[in-house]
Structure formats: structure tokens, C-alpha cells
Structure 1
Amino acid sequence: MILQPDVAVPDGATYLPATLDHVRWGRLPCAADAPVLKVDSGSDVVVDTISHEGILEDQGRDPRAFFASHGVEGDAVLDDAIALAASDHPRAWGVDGPHVVTGPIEVAGAEAGDLLAIHVLETTPRVPYGVVSNRHAKGALPGEYPLEGDVFSVFCEVGERDGRAVGRLPVGPGSDRSVSFDLHPFLGTMGVAVAGSERPHSVPPGPFGGNIDVNLLTAGSTLYLPVQVPGALAYVGDPHFAQGDGEVALTAMEASLRVRIGLEVIPREDAVAAFGELVGPMAETAEFLVPTGLDPDLDVAMQHCVRAAIALLQARFDMDPRHAYAYLSAATDFRISQVVDVVKGVHATIRKSDFA
């Protein structure tokens, strides 16, 4: 099914479509932005998100034509993506970022110093295809790729293998052979508004979250973010169907999702007891606690992540920091979240079962 706006929305759901008045394109919300929705802590919201792939200027800013060139019928292209690409939505090509975010959502009672928990409850593909792009000498090999031109976009179909949804990426231009990989839909961008009146660029992540691109944030996971402004003003976007750690080419399999998220305020006292003095994003899955580290220098991002992991183990399990450092070295994987968003990311995967 193609999940066009307002199609197949569950009865009684609080629904936030990605209409022109509900999205930001290339910039993230700040304290000066008015919320497009207000909810109580503990509420669930169904949110439509739009992928930037297929709507950008270097792809013609015409998703109908772009996807038609890959054999997609017109009624399988999302109406809200078409409307955004055709609009005069304020955005400067080459200055602002590419990402589309839906929001912001005000959560009643959230104050600076609290944590906002964004629980990812469901992630549903809106279309059966996606795009992976390398562009403008960006990515892990900026002096080498794209091999020619400013952008190289690979169209990927969604298929099935052994009863599981997979992405199918062709092995070369015009080839009828493809490589298949499992899909793990997640939101690359989840965040809260920053203080002040200046909207952050959509590419570099920060203490507010944003474009952190942690691929563990699939359904069943939670992202914890330090609230910066009253009401938190949460937003989500940059939907992916799949991404490898590192996201080396610049984007991964980018494609639009409908998500159901839960929004919960964790008061400062409870937050400190559970996580310590959290200064940046932290995730949790059924299996792992996932502290993060962010910095333009990957070595420094790694150091920030290790410090965050030690502080978490001190707060959550009353570990001596020297013993926590030793445990992390013996038992925890530190993964590169992404190296393509100016501010690089590292995340640790601390097994919760080790502390049962």
C-alpha cells in the first residue's frame, strides 16, 4: 500500500501529516517556532515523514519525473512530497540542509533540564522503494566519489527474501542483477528545539539530537534528549529503510515512513538518577543502552562517547569509573554512527543483560 496523506490512519489516532505548514526543510526548529501540535506527556502520535531523496534540486526537484525515470507509476509517488517540491517553502539550495522534519510538537510540562523520551513504537514504509545517493564530493571518500558529476543516486526496490522485507540495490548501471539486504526502518533525525531564535542547519547533530543517524533506533527503541526549551518542541524526519554503521556514501536507503511515537517527559531528578548528567542524546533498545558521542573530530567523538558511557554506568549501576572503563574495554562495542554529517557520531552498545 502507498501511504498517501490521510490514508489508512488508525481510528482515534492523534495524526500529524507532513503538510506544508507542518514541516521544516533544511533547518531544525528553535524556541521561536510555534508548535504545530500540542500533546500531554505519555501521548502517542502518528507522524508522516518525507524523504529528501527525489525532491532535491540536483534531482530536478520534481519527484514525479525523478521516480518515473525509475519506473514508478505516478500514483505511487507521495502527494506531500510532490507538494513540498513544488512549493516556495523557505529554503536556500546549497546553504540550508536537505532534510525534511515534521513538527515541532509541544509536550506539556517539559522544561529545560528534563529529558524527553521519544519512544519509537511503529515504523511503516509509505512506499516500496528508496534511494541511496553520493553527491557533491561529500561522504567518507570526498576526493574520490562521485566518480563523475555532482550526484550519483541509486534507486532501490523493496522485495522479499525468506519472508523478510529486503532492499534490492543493482550491482551496476542497467544491470538486472542486484544485491539484497535486510530492511530496518528508522528515523535518522529526532530532536528537540534549541534555545534562541536561530534554526540549526539540518545536517550536523548536536546535544539537541537532530541528524544523529543511529541505526539502532528502530521500532521498540527510545531516544532520550535533554530538553532545551519549555515544551521541548520535538520533531522527527530523515526516514531510512536501512543504513550501515558509518553511512559512508552520504545517504543510506532513504525513503518515507509513517511512524508512531510516544512522547514522555522525564523530570530532571529522575533523569539524573537513571542516566547521570546527560548532556547529549542517549538511546535504549531491548538489548542495549546506547550512549553517544558527537564532534567534528572522530577521535574526540569517541572520547565523548566513552565518557558518556562511564557516567551512565556510574549512575545506573553504581560502578566505580575505573571498573566501568575496564568493563567497556572488555565487553562493549563502540560503533561509528556516521561520518558524513560534519559532526561525526559514535555510539556504544552496552548489553543490559550483563547487569541482570
Structure 2
Amino acid sequence: MNAHILQPHTGAIRGDRYLASDPDTVSWGWLANRATAPVASLGSGQSITIDTVSHEGILDDQGRDPLRYLAQFGVDRAAVLDDVVAIAGSSIANGPDDGPHVVTGPIHVDGARPGDLLKIDILDLAPRVPYGFVSSRHGYGSLVDEYPEPDGWRHDDDKITAPGTISHFCRVRGADGSPAQGVLDAGKGRTLPFGLAPFLGLMGVAVDTDDPVPSVPPGRHGGNIDVKHAVVGTTLYLPVQVDGAGFYTGDPHFAQGNGEVALTALEASLRATLRLTVLPANLRASTVGGVDVPFLETPTHWIPTGMDPDLDVATQRAVRNAIAFLNTRFDVPRSIAMAYLSAAADFEISQVVDAVKGVHCMIRKADFATWI
């Protein structure tokens, strides 16, 4: 299994700049704050290609030895990413109090100031390997006290994971290196295929604090928002908190269902090309309306978000943010906006597994075609 491998510094680089993930450019389990030194700089409107790294296959409960761990599943050395090996073998600490995510950045964006918006256009997401993992761990996930089942089925060929962890190896099949399906071993000689839609689960800006910022809970800064609609062609808007924005990314996925109920989705490394543009504060109302949290835009939908440890409160916040968007951007009366959302918008659960739960609202652009 050594075809279609995007090792660092090899293959097509589509951005104006390139950023590899190595022990000098990543943090493990923590996000940037105002004191974190940037590892790269961009001019507003420039693009950057980032080799993101999945944490699955390198965590302590998987042995922190990706060569040995992946060999169990028939993955030879040529198909293991060099940056994955370097990060796992480095002195970067990643203990039980740290988040799992390998986070690349931060990136300084010239001209970004608090009050501005950072516009992140997702230009390209290229799978770096033809495999990934879906994992479940005791104490986490939507059925925290039920899964993994103590006597549940697990892969016979996984001899390394610690008790309380089940990591399902998932092969990818497709044509010409473009994965079309993930394939899970379903036991009894059966396989379970499903479609892929790669996206970055974690994109954010530096938080205006000197305190450490954990990578698991998302927030106003973005971070681990896990909104599956952040695919190629989508734009993410984040409110800038510190000079230079301090953009970072990680937690790459090949696929995820709304909810991400097991704990992880199909986690696998991606080569991401993103364009980072500063939108000054006076353009916020005409872009995201009155919303001051992560906001996504696809060719067909506007997607305000809501987050809270309580799923009901997260839903309420998503509703308020959707109303604020329609009221400020299009001058829709608030009561009419509420009626429209109830009749025509879809509120989806982004994820329920990241301590702070996420809900996002799908507002169809087609309904406002004559307004734009």
C-alpha cells in the first residue's frame, strides 16, 4: 500500500506558500494564544498549502509508534508519512490532560486586527494517504458509558491499542488516487463502504489570552468546530482576536456524519490549500450580518453556528445567530426571520463529542436570490 502518498515537500503545491507539519511548526493538543509565535506569515489574499497530520495512529493508547502500529494493517514504511513519524518520535509532550490534535501554525496574516474577519477560502483538500481510522474511547463519545463495549468486537489484527480504545482501520478505494469510498471491515468477510467528503475539522484564530487554550472544545475562535460542510469551495469566517490573526489548522477528516457520535470520524491526513484574506471591520455586517462566531458559506448555503456544552443551549445560540444574520444582512424583521427559519431552514448537529457541542443552521441562498 504505497500508491498516492503525499510525503512532505513532494507532489503538487498549489498555494503561494507551503507549510510542512514538523516538530517546529506544530503543537499537540493546544491552540495558539496571543503569546504564541507565528511559524509563517502571509499577505492578505495569499494562499498557503499546509500538510496537515491526523492524530490517529500516533496517540499514546496506540503506542505512539506509527510504523509499528500501521504495520498491523499491512501498511508498509513507504506508505507512512515522514512527518507523522517525526512528530510521534519527537519530544513534544502529549499526555492525558492534552487534546489529541496535531495543530499546524499559527500563521500571521498581514493587516489583521481585532474586530476584523479572517476569511478562509478552502481551495483544495488532497488526501495524503489511502487509509484512516474511526476510533472510540472509554469516557468519550455520545454513548459515553456504553461504548466501546467491554466484550465488543474489535479487529483481531490490532494488538497494540490500550484497553478501552477501539480504532477501526479504514481503507480507501478510488480511481487515480482520488478516494471515492471508505471501506470498513464489518466482520464475517463483509465490508461496509461509504462516501467520502474531505474537510478540516479544526481551523481557528489565536485567542486573546495568555492562558493555555485546549484543542478539544470549539468556540468563538473556531478551533475544533467539526462542521462537515467545510469542504472544497466553502468559506469560513472567523472574528479576529489578536493582531495578525494567528491562523492554525488540523484534525483532517476524509468523512464525517453530522454528530460524529463515536468520538472520531474518518480521521486521515490531508494536504490543504487555503486562501487567507482580511476583511476589515466595516465589511462584517454585509458579510456575516450580526454574527460574532464562526460562520460558513458554501455556494448554496449560509451556515451560522451555535456552541455550548448543553446541546439545547447550542441550538438556541444557533437560532439567535441565524436571526441576527438575516436581520442585519437583509433587514428581515426578527419575528419574520424566526418564522422563516422554522419553516425553511435546517438545524443540524455538528458534533456532540467535543465537550462544547455544536449546532449549525443551513440557510438556502436560493430563497434570497432576488435579495442579493
| Shorter-chain TM-score range | over 0.9
Partner residue in 2 for 1:14: 17
CA contact (8 A) 2:14 2:273 kept: no
Moved more, 343-352 or 278-287: 278-287
Partner residue in 1 for 2:314: 301
Q: Report whether the alignment pairs 1:232 with 2:241.
A: no
Listed one character per residue, the Cα deviations across residues 132-171 of structure 1 (whole Å, up to 9, x for unaligned) are: 000122100011001123100100000139x971000111
CA contact (8 A) 2:116 2:284 kept: yes
Listed one character per residue, the Cα deviations across residues 317-351 of structure 1 (whole Å, up to 9, x for unaligned) are: 21011000000000011000000000000000000
TM-score (norm 1): 0.97
CA contact (8 A) 2:347 2:361 kept: yes
**TM-aligned CA distance change 1:182 to 1:12, over 3 Å:** closer
Q: Report whether the alignment pairs 1:287 with 2:300.
A: yes
> Structure 1: which 4+ aligned runs deviate by more than 4 Å?
none
Partner residue in 2 for 1:152: 166
Of residues 156, 166, 184 in structure 2, which corresponds to 1:169? 184
Of residues 232, 238, 256 in structure 1, which corresponds to 2:269? 256
Partner residue in 1 for 2:81: 78
Per the TM alignment, residue 12 of structure 1 is displaced from its structure 2 partner at its CA by: 7.4
Q: Distance in 1 between matches of 2:139 and 2:103?
A: 24
Listed one character per residue, the Cα deviations across residues 15-67 of structure 1 (whole Å, up to 9, x for unaligned) are: 00001111111000111011111111100000010000000000000011111
Partner residue in 2 for 1:244: 257
CA contact (8 A) 2:310 2:356 kept: yes
Q: Distance in 1 between matches of 2:168 and 2:13?
A: 33
Partner-residue secondary structure (3-state), 2:168: strand
Q: Distance in 2 between matches of 1:322 and 1:105?
A: 41
Gaps of 5+ in 1: none
Partner-residue secondary structure (3-state), 1:233: strand
Gaps of 5+ in 2: 151-162
Per the TM alignment, residue 266 of structure 1 is displaced from its structure 2 partner at its CA by: 0.8
Of residues 165, 183, 188 in structure 1, which corresponds to 2:201? 188
CA contact (8 A) 1:226 1:278 kept: no
Moved more, 145-154 or 200-209: 145-154
Q: Distance in 2 between matches of 1:180 and 1:318?
A: 45
CA contact (8 A) 2:138 2:145 kept: no
Q: Distance in 1 between matches of 2:287 and 2:84?
A: 40
Q: Distance in 1 between matches of 2:283 and 2:17?
A: 28
**TM-aligned CA distance change 1:12 to 1:159, over 3 Å:** closer
Of residues 102, 105, 118 in structure 1, which corresponds to 2:104? 102
Which amino acid in 1 is paired with 2:287?
A
Moved more, 128-137 or 237-246: 128-137
CA contact (8 A) 1:137 1:144 kept: no
Partner residue in 2 for 1:278: 291
Per the TM alignment, residue 101 of structure 1 is displaced from its structure 2 partner at its CA by: 1.0
**TM-aligned CA distance change 1:197 to 1:164, over 3 Å:** closer
**Aligned CA-pair RMSD:** 1.3
CA contact (8 A) 1:9 1:15 kept: no
Q: Report whether the alignment pairs 1:199 with 2:212.
A: yes
CA contact (8 A) 1:115 1:227 kept: yes
CA contact (8 A) 2:130 2:179 kept: no
Per the TM alignment, residue 314 of structure 1 is displaced from its structure 2 partner at its CA by: 1.0
